[in-house]
């Protein structure tokens, strides 16, 4: 049996100016201790990454990119590569549903981003999850399978242990109209399906080991319940991560979680 880390990842999305992000970081830093079993990761806007990276205590927080372009350099006006930000971040969110559905990112784009993150020494957090229509049509498992297959298509057996999966059903994400929180039983089932697919692709040991997070309308009231689901190794938090009290309460609820496999 191995003790496992719990990940609490804050996705600030397109909120906070660099000044606001800095102030907010200070508030969090006063309230959240450095912990061995809980990894708190903050994903600010790209524009705030450099400033925050100079301010954070890396034993307390790590930083994540919300987005980047997969090529390392070149004539790509307006884009920022992982190789340009790798000094600031340790993690990179890839395949978030807002990237898939607002910016039309395909599984191929996502696979290239996952590969670019790994190539540059970052941990990709690959987000997958079915839409409301897919769930209604009984296509939840096939949506999960195809996003995993697509997103991991460039990841070798040696590198799969560098990947984190976040299960985020699109209908549960607060930015969606009619969003509603997922039931723990749906999440438990989805993580089983994900591990089953990972086992087919990379073997049982990898499937048991890969961290799987849940994201979608997590609040300070629901976090502990989600963290109790067997096989769920942490949370990806949008809206509630923008409010210091909520976010700190969520981190607090992760402290008591001791994951074993």
Q: Which is nearer to ligand PGA, 28 or 207 (CB)?
A: 28
Chain Cα centroid distance, residue 129: 12
The interface mask with ligand PGA, positions 155-184, x = CB under 6 A, is -------------x----xx----------
Q: What is the Cα Rg of the chain in Å?
A: 17
Answer whether 127's CB lies under 8 Å from 215's CB: yes
Sign of torsion, CA 20 21 23 24? positive
Question: Backbone dihedral region of 188: left (phi > 0), alpha (psi from -120 to 50 degrees) or beta?
Answer: alpha
- 11 belongs to the binding site for ligand PGA (CB under 6 A): yes
At 192, phi and psi to the nearest 5? -65, -45
Which range in 53-61, 110-118, 147-155, 238-246 contacts ligand PGA by CB under 6 A?
238-246
The interface mask with ligand PGA, positions 178-217, x = CB under 6 A, is -------------------------------------xxx
The least CB distance from residue 215 to ligand PGA, in Å, is 4
Please pick, among 96, 105, 130, 154, the residue that the annotation labels catalytic: 96
Q: By 3-state DSSP, what share of the chain in percent is helix, strand and coil, each rounded to 5?
A: 45, 15, 40
- Size of the chain, expressed as the number of residues it contains: 261
| Annotation says 189 is catalytic | no
The least CB distance from residue 173 to ligand PGA, in Å, is 4
The least CB distance from residue 1 to ligand PGA, in Å, is 30
């Amino acid at each position: 049996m191995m003790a496992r880390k719990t990940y609490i990842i804050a996705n600030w999305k397109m909120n906070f100016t660099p000044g606001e992000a800095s102030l907010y970081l200070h508030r969090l830093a006063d309230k959240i201790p450095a912990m061995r079993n809980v990894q708190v990761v903050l994903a600010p806007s790209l524009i705030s990454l450099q400033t925050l990276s100079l301010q954070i205590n890396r034993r307390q927080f790590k930083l994540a990119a919300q987005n980047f372009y997969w090529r390392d350099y070149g004539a790509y006006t307006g884009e920022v590569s992982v190789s340009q930000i790798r000094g600031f971040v340790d993690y990179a969110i890839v395949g978030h549903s807002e990237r898939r559905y607002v910016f039309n990112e395909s599984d191929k784009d996502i696979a290239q981003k996952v590969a670019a993150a790994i190539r540059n020494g970052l941990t990709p957090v690959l987000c997958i999850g079915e839409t409301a229509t897919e769930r209604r049509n009984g296509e939840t498992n096939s949506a999960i399978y195809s996003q995993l297959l697509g997103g991991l298509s460039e990841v070798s057996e040696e590198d799969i242990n560098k990947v984190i999966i976040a299960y985020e059903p699109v209908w549960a994400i607060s930015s969606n109209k009619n969003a509603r929180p997922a039931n723990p039983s749906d999440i438990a089932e989805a993580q089983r399906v994900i591990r089953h697919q990972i086992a087919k692709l990379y073997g049982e040991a990898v499937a048991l080991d890969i961290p799987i997070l849940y994201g979608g309308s997590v609040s300070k009231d629901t976090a502990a319940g989600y963290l109790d689901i067997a096989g769920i190794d942490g949370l990806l938090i949008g809206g509630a991560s923008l409010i210091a009290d909520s976010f700190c309460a969520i981190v607090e609820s992760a402290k008591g979680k001791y994951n074993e496999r």
